[in-house]
Amino acid sequence: MLSGFAVVTHSETTDFDMICGFFNELNQTQNIKEMSSEQKADFVDARITAQLNEGSDAKVAWAAILSAPPQQRYELFKSAAESILPKKWNCPAMKQLAPTTGD
């Protein structure tokens, strides 16, 4: 039973880290300064939709926080990650960009 938990944890770790990676990609985009908040959200959402399963806790957490005030999004996502993962979670690119991503 414990090994099954480890498999789920590994999968979810990958999903949360993948979303962090999408923010790292966004941060490296040459025209990021010209992108609107909606364009930034579309950039991240397109990758989440294409690369994460529907049942992914990370995908669900991202969808849920989009309706939160922009300044609270990173901390809410971080809290979700840490409530599911057995470790601390951090993503500097997301911390920087989440407040300007989406409405």
Taking Cα atoms as reference points, which of 68, 57, 78 lies closest to residue 99? 68
Under 8 Å between Cβ of 20 and 95: no
Which residue stretches of the chain are H helix? 2-28, 37-51, 57-65, 73-84, 92-97
State the pLDDT at residue 102. 84
- Predicted confidence (pLDDT) at residue 97 exceeds the cutoff of 80: yes
- Residue 103 confidence class, pLDDT cut points 50, 70, 90: confident
Give me the residue spans of the domains in the chain: 2-100
What pLDDT score does 73 carry?
94
Give the predicted TM-score (pTM) of the model.
0.84
Give the total residue count for the chain. 103
Give pLDDT tens digits for 27-75.
Answer: 999 999 999 999 999 999 999 999 999 899 999 999 999 889 999 999 9
Q: Which two tokens mark 39?
A: 């364009």
